[in-house]
Amino acid sequence: MAFAAPRRTSLSAMLADIHHAVAGDAPGCPRRVAAAIHAYLHDPELLDGIACPSCPNGYIRHLLHADSSGRYAVVALVWRPGQMSPVHAHRTWCALGVHRGVLSEAFYDLPEGNSSPCQTATLLRGQGAVSFGPADLRTIHRLANLGTAEAVSIHVYGASFDRFGQDVNHLF
């Protein structure tokens, strides 16, 4: 009796591509992971069967995959209109892509001797857009949903999910 192979979902394919991207050389990791995410962002079935409700109190992370070795974790962030992250830098590498909606990504500089970042630029990130960066406390940004519809973004961080609080964001 022959058995049909299980259908490979878009999410499982994206996770396999992310795993492969993380396995390469460290300096190119964020760029490779962003490319792996990018390939799936326009797929409307990417998160089929995954409950990703929004939260009225702020954007919310939903764990999609935690690497068994603790090297990285993949999350879906759900943003209601008007919700935004704090101004922050990253203690680890990261890559993100917009799956639904539009996010604004504001960038900041920290002037010498100043403890308050100053906004320098803003980019709109629509469906399919990606952004990435190394662990760098000088790369400061804020993501926001300034639109009128819910937005969903996929983020991969070079830290285990249970250490996100300590190992991912440096808040300003």
Percent of the chain with pLDDT over 90: 78
Distance, CA of 58 to CA of 43 (rounded, Å):
25
* Torsion of the alpha carbons at 120, 125, 130 and 131, rounded to the nearest 10: 20
The residue written with tokens 């996929």 in the block is 154
- Closest residue by Cα to residue 64 from 13, 23, 134: 13
Mean pLDDT (whole number) for 133-137: 88
22-70 pLDDT, tens digit each: 998 888 999 999 999 999 999 999 999 999 999 999 999 999 999 999 9
Dump pLDDT digits (tens) for 72-89.
999 999 999 999 999 999
Instruction: Name residues whose C-beta falls within 8 Å of residue 166's C-beta, 6 or more positions apart in sequence.
Output: none
What superfamily would CATH give domain 10-171? Jelly Rolls (2.60.120.10)
134 confidence band (pLDDT: 50, 70, 90)? confident
Residues facing residue 106 across a β-bridge: 122, 142
* Sequence-distant contacts of 133-138: CB under 8 A, at least 24 apart: 133/30, 133/90, 133/93, 133/94, 134/27, 134/30, 134/93, 135/90, 135/91, 135/92, 135/93, 136/89, 136/90, 137/89, 137/90, 137/91, 137/170, 138/89, 138/110
pLDDT band at 168 (very low <50, low <70, confident <90, very high): confident
Q: What is the mean pLDDT of residues 96-121?
A: 93
The confidence score (pLDDT) of residue 97 equals: 98
Question: Is the full-model pTM beyond 0.95?
Answer: no
The better pLDDT of the pair 110, 73 is held by 73
Tell me: pLDDT of 109 over 90: yes
How much of the chain, in percent, has pLDDT values that exceed 70?
A: 95
Domain boundaries, the chain: 10-171
